[in-house]
Amino acid sequence: MTRINALARLLVAFSVVLVISASSFAQGHIKAVSKNDNSDFGPVMRAYLGYLRNEQEVVDDRISRREISSAYYRRNSNRIKALRQMAIRLVNQSGNDYVPELEAVTIDEFGTLFERPPRPTSFRSNEILTNKFRYLGVVHAGEVFYIFARLDPYEQASLIERQSKDSMSGPADASSGVAKGQPVGQTSTRPKRTVPR
């Protein structure tokens, strides 16, 4: 009987040591992963990576409660990976702690961003589309995602102002088919029409 009690105590002690070591290993692994994610970045990028982690947790929670399909889960998890890859690429290339508002869409989701979806084969890097988006590139994360940075209102206003100045300062070419109008607020006088009497 004493031998069984000694064996039981040894087994319990071994189980406790095993649980404690597994727990400390898991905590160390989590800290290492989060440190790898955030160690080289400033507060803005760390916040963005935290946002993406939270988004992944939401998607994980919804699939665990069977609120979404596995295809929806896969696409959104892949989208989060694509956004993360592009954000890291942008921050590493620029050296700035700044992440624009990013959109990652597959080719069949272009209608969510554009009224008339453009052909992606014609995209050039840093091209501005519909005065709202800057095309950043493609990321392969389980599937192909086209990544766009949404222009902020100041960038949009500046772009529209520049385009209107360019259209006004260009030569008045009747063959171009582009109507050149007078800017709002400018008045002009024209000679009175004379009618022969």
pLDDT in tens, 32-74: 544 455 668 999 999 999 999 999 999 999 999 999 999 999 9
pLDDT for the residue 118: 86
Tens-place pLDDT, residues 127-167 = 888 888 999 999 999 999 999 999 988 888 888 888 878 77
Give the burial class of 82: count Cβ atoms within 10 A of its Cβ; 0-12 exposed, 13-18 middle, 19 or more buried.
buried
CB–CB of 41/92 below 8 Å?
A: no
Q: What is the pLDDT of residue 59?
A: 95
Kindly report the average pLDDT of the chain as a whole number. Answer: 79
Is the pLDDT at 183 greater than 60? The verdict is no
Q: What is the pLDDT of residue 181?
A: 45
Please say whether the beta carbons of 141 and 81 come within 8 A.
yes
The tally of CA atoms less than 13 A away on the side-chain side of residue 31 is 6
CA dist 185 → 80, 103, 181, 182, 188 (Å): 47, 38, 12, 9, 10
DSSP string, 14-81: HHHHHHHHHHHHHHHHHHHHHHHHHTTS-HHHHHHHHHHHHHHHHHHHHHHTT-S-HHHHHHHHHHHH
Given a cut of 60, is residue 191 above it in pLDDT?
A: no
What percent of the chain clears pLDDT 70, i.e. is strictly above it? Answer: 70
Instruction: Residue 148: name the closest of 175, 129, 168 by CA.
Output: 129
